Chains A and B, each alone.
Chain A
Amino acid sequence: MTDLTVDLGFCKLQNPVLAASGTFGYGLEFTPYLDLNRLGGVVVKGLYFSPREGNPPPRLVETHAGLINAIGLQGIGVQRFSEQILPELRKFATAIIVNVCGERDEEYAAVVDFLNKTEGITAYELNISCPNVEKDGLCPALDPEATHSLVALVKKHSSRPLITKLSPNVTDIVEIALSAQEAGSDALSLVNTFLAMAINPETRMPRLANILGGLSGPAIKPIALRMVYQVAQRVQIPVIGMGGILSGTDALEFLIAGAKAVEVGTANFVDPEATVKIIQGIDAFCQDKGIKTIQEIIGTVRVSED
């Protein structure tokens, strides 16, 4: 067994593999298929303060090696989450990270104020980057000032570490990353989905009722990896990488690029055991190479300097 523990500074994870928000429900949905205790952590589905309707269907369309979704963050709100889900979820020995949403900055703060009073949450992941809520995919993560003011506000309210989840739908993701870091974010997670579209030529209608959606899956992995690499080069806080990870070797690419941990998303739909298999894949790779700890991997991308 390889020592897979990673230290994010504000918390230690037993391994670097987390289940990504929006692809793992509230976590408990997966207990028939895997032991949550084996995961580095679970990032639960995005929570607004109140229950939320979500978008009309169709909400999902499969594309080449990926899918476009426009769920619209349908969810149960903080009250039901803390009463019905969290008491079960916190029994597991894994990091519980809550993905925090808001229509306005004040709602993000209200969600955090509410959850601060509950036990069993390791950290908050600030969802400033969902492309399916506002028209044209607008979200705070598209703008460095909006990112800065929101992160600073939530940081002030939060009694827990804050991970800011970034959007790839920007010209320069490093600029946004630096802005979140400066505002006090304890870590960054990237990337959220790519704003995307599919049309049915027969009807000439968009395949999603929301018209636009977010592309995820292996199709986005090379671009996500590039962004993680660029950001990890420039920030001091830990980076959690994600985007199309299906296998242990996919995860290793992100770790080598500089991510201290990874989130696994779309793969959970393909195989509910994906997270555990990815952990096993990382472990098998390390054992095969005689690597004793995952630290020997992280951020070790070899770039010739000439």
Chain B
Amino acid sequence: MIKDPQALIFRIKRWEDYYLFALESPQIASRAVPGQFIMVRISPHPYPLLRRPFSIHDASKTHLEIFFQVTGIGTELLSQRRENDSLDILGPLGKGFTTGPALAEKEVVAVGGGRGIAPLYYLAQVLRSEGASIRIFYGGQTLKDLPLREKIEGDGFPLHCSTDDGSYGFKGLVSDYFAQELHKMNPSRIYSCGPELMMEKIASLARNKNIPAEFSLESIMGCGIGACWSCVKRIQKEEGTEWTRICEEGPVFNGEDILWQGEEP
């Protein structure tokens, strides 16, 4: 948990409304694990006021990447930054996905919806380096929502794409595609990030097959460091369910522990 007031943006890639920023921030990058996030200050002025959370999309000892879609004023202003600007960031924050030698030689699968692909790419890199074989499902509304497909394929990951309108890959929701394909696989673990309804479907599929599954949840956050108690999700604890801070105890949770919308009290 470090504040880097001057993380250099050394590379920007753009695909329509999707952006990839590569940042130089050795202190934060070297401590990151897949599933963690950073808080980015958008403006030195009071509008927009709050930092925005972004999953870490990739990290090395010195560099980290964020991948985002322009969805509001915060991401719009961020997208206007240029290479060689610097960003004020906090990180690495939160608890990440399960990785490690226990998954070596195992088959695992990651399912990303839209910008939810962001943390799964870093996860895939780390899992592969630890010896797991990882398959990626990547869905979007239309072809332009799959900007990372060439990069993921180029890295040699088995990739299954879907679009809601059928403009690329399977026609339909990525959760439906995954449901159709799941019986052909034997994953030891499922990882997912994306829209809540999509993740809820993946969670139910995983539960039916008794496969451990982890989900990275998205939320509006006030602080990202556990102080404001804004970003809560209903989570099963030992003594019942609780509003639980996504920034502090997540953003990654076990599917079994998450109460999805409608299951909340």
Taking beta carbons and an 8 Å cutoff, which residues of A are in contact with B? 22-25, 29-30, 32-33, 45, 53-54, 56-62, 64-67, 69, 71, 74, 217-218, 246, 266, 268-273
Q: Are the C-beta atoms of A217 and B233 separated by less than 8 Å?
A: no
Q: Which B-chain residue is minimally distant from A25 (CB atoms)?
A: B227
Known: A57-B243, A65-B49, A66-B49. A23 touches B228 (CB 8 A): yes
CA A65 to CA B47, docked complex, whole Å: 5
Considering the complex, give the chain B residue whose CB is closest to the CB of A30: B227
Residue in B2, B41, B231 whose CB lies within 8 Å of A271: B41
B200 CB to nearest chain A CB (Å):
16
- Which residues from chain B contact A66 at a C-beta distance below 8 Å? 49
B220 at the interface (CB under 8 A from A): yes
**Residues in chain B near residue A23, CB distance under 8 A:** 223, 227-228
C-alpha spacing A49/B243, complex, angstroms: 18
- In the complex the two chains form, is A272's CB within 8 Å of B222's CB? no
B88 proximity list for chain A (CB < 8 A): 271
Are A67 and B50 in contact, CB atoms less than 8 angstroms apart?
yes
Q: Mark B19-56, 1 if CB is under 8 A from A, else 0.
A: 00000000000000000000001000011111100000
**Neighbouring B residues of A272 by C-beta, 8 Å:** 3, 90, 223, 225, 227
Q: Is B103 an interface residue (CB 8 A)?
A: no
Which of B90, B221, B225, B264 has the most chain A CB within a 10 Å cutoff? B225
Question: B129 in the interface, Cβ–Cβ < 8 Å?
Answer: no
Chain B residues touching A, range: 20 to 34
- Interfacial chain B residues near A273, Cβ < 8 Å: 3
Q: What are 5 A-B contacts with C-beta separation under 8 Å?
A: A23-B223, A59-B230, A69-B222, A74-B232, A270-B46
Complex CA–CA separation, A100 to B41 (angstroms): 32
The answer to whether B50 and A270 have CB atoms under 8 Å apart is: yes
Min CB distance B92 to A, Å, is 11
Interface majority SS (helix, strand, loop, mixed), chain A: loop
- Total A-B residue contacts, Cβ distance less than 8 Å: 97
B62 at the interface (CB under 8 A from A): no
Closest to A221 in B: B46
Asked if A268 and B243 make an inter-chain contact with CB atoms under 8 angstroms apart, the answer reads: no
Q: In the docked arrangement, what's the CA distance between A66 and B222, Å?
A: 11
Instruction: Tell me whether B84 is interfacial, beta carbon within 8 Å.
Output: no
Given contacts A56-B264, A60-B231, 7 further A-B contacts (CB under 8 A): A25-B227, A33-B90, A69-B228, A71-B228, A74-B232, A269-B223, A269-B227
* Complex-state Cα separation, A6 to B56, whole angstroms: 44
Interface pair A54/B90, CB less than 8 Å apart: no
CB distance from A154 to the nearest CB of B (A): 25
0 or 1 for each of B231-255: is its CB under 8 Å from A? (1 = yes): 1110000000011000000000000
The answer to whether residues A59 and B232 also contact, given A65-B49, A69-B222 and a CB cut-off of 8 A, is: yes
CB–CB A57/B3 < 8 A = no
List, in ascending order, chain A residues with CB within 8 A of B232's CB.
54, 57, 59, 74
CA distance A74 to B46 in the complex (A): 27
State in angstroms the CA–CA spacing of A22 and B222 once bound together: 12
- CB A264 to nearest CB in B, in angstroms, measures 12
In the complex, what residues of B have CB within 8 A of residue A24's CB? 227
Task: Assess whether B219 is interfacial by the CB under 8 Å rule.
Answer: yes
Q: Which residues of A contact B223 (CB under 8 A)?
A: 23, 268-269, 272
Are A71's CB and B49's CB within 8 A? no
A54-B264 contact, Cβ under 8 Å, with A66-B49, A218-B46: no
